[in-house]
Structure 1
Amino acid sequence: MDIKIVKAEQLPEQIETLAKLARKEGYDLIDKLIEEYHTGKNCFSHENEYLALAYDGDKLVACGGLNQQWGDHVVEARIGRVRRCYVHPKYRQHGVGKQLLAFLEQLARPHYSALCLHTDTKLAASFYQKQNYVFVENHPNYNYFKYLIS
């Protein structure tokens, strides 16, 4: 499996395929990604924000984004937020999610001292814990956090 990860300049048409797969699993995160992208609410276009896409050949197999973390209407000091990460079910347990997250972390390091995210699935929580994200209780905006070391 030769996975190539790239920074997206725009949403590819194949994002609809990932959206259908996610929907089948009961997840709406890719639908939200598409809606927010098209309405301009979140295009991963602010400074130091990125949308990454993972391809197996020319087949889109995963996506994930990095935003500035907002808290109380101000950007929290040098904290980035991992968002809308999804891996095609057939590509899970093959290192694709790990590669995608490592790519986002590499992009984040020059700009952020830490990353946060929110997940409410056990599968994703387990994955993030294996990537050294720590569970955070009672934070209003996220439930996993990781300090980045340059």
Structure 2
Amino acid sequence: MSISIEQADYLPEQIHILAESAHKEGFQHIQRLVDEYQQEKNLFNAHGEFLLLAYDDEKLVACGGLNIQMSDNGEPSRIGRVRRFYVMPNYRKLGLGRGLLQELEKRAKANFSALCLHTDGTSGAHFFQKQNYVFVENHSNYNYFKYLV
């Protein structure tokens, strides 16, 4: 296994394989990534935003992006939002997700003081809790939060 993590300038054709894999698990967020990207609703190209792709040699095996979390009054904040995070099942529990998230956090520090995200699944919740994200009970836009220090 030879993993590389790269910032995406465009969505590669292999993104459809990730979307199909996620769909088989009942997740639609990678298909939403594709749809929003094609519709130019979310290109991860605002200041401080990016999309990371993880490859095993030439095979796309994971992705994770960062957007600006807008404040309640619609203004940009110093909080980044982890979006469209997914690791193919055969690559879980090998440190790839942790490495991808660490790279995302490292790059985020230049523009954000904290990160937030929303996850519904218990496996996702467990993963993010292990990475020191704290559960937020009553926020309308996210349910996990972490200060970048």
TM-score scaled by length of structure 1: 0.97
Task: Provide the secondary structure at the position in 2 that maps to 1:102.
Answer: helix
Task: For structure 2, list consecutive stretches of 5 or more residues without a partner in the other structure.
Answer: none
**Counterpart position of 2:67:** 67
Residues 85-127 of structure 1 deviation map (CA, whole Å, 9 limit, x = unaligned): 0001100000110011011001101110000000000000000
2:35 corresponds to 1:41: no
Q: Which runs of 4+ in 1 moved over 2 A?
A: none
1:30 maps to a residue whose letter is I
8 Å Cα contact 1:71-1:141 kept in structure 2: no
Report the counterpart of residue 25 of structure 2 in structure 1. 25
State the alpha-carbon separation in 2 of the partners of residues 89 and 68 from structure 1.
28
In structure 2, how many angstroms separate the alpha carbons of the residues matched to 1:28 and 1:53? 18
- The CA deviation at 1:50 is 0.4
Output aligned runs, 1:1-150, within 5 Å. 1-72=1-72, 73-76=74-77, 78-149=78-149
Gaps of 5+ in 1: none
CA drift at 1:131: 0.3
Distance 1:109 1:60 in 2: 25
8 Å CA contact 1:80, 1:114 repeated in 2: yes
- How far does residue 74 in structure 1 lie from its aligned partner after superposition? 1.1
Specify the code of the residue in structure 2 equivalent to 1:136. V
Q: By how many angstroms is 1:37 displaced?
A: 0.5
Task: Give, in angstroms, the shift of residue 21 of structure 1.
Answer: 0.5
Separation in 1 of the partners of 2:84 and 2:94? 19
**TM-score relative to the length of structure 2:** 0.98
Distance 1:40 1:88 in 2: 25
> Aligned residue pairs: how many?
148
Query: RMSD of aligned C-alpha atoms?
Result: 0.6
Amino acid of the structure 2 residue aligned with 1:74: E
Q: Percent identity?
A: 59
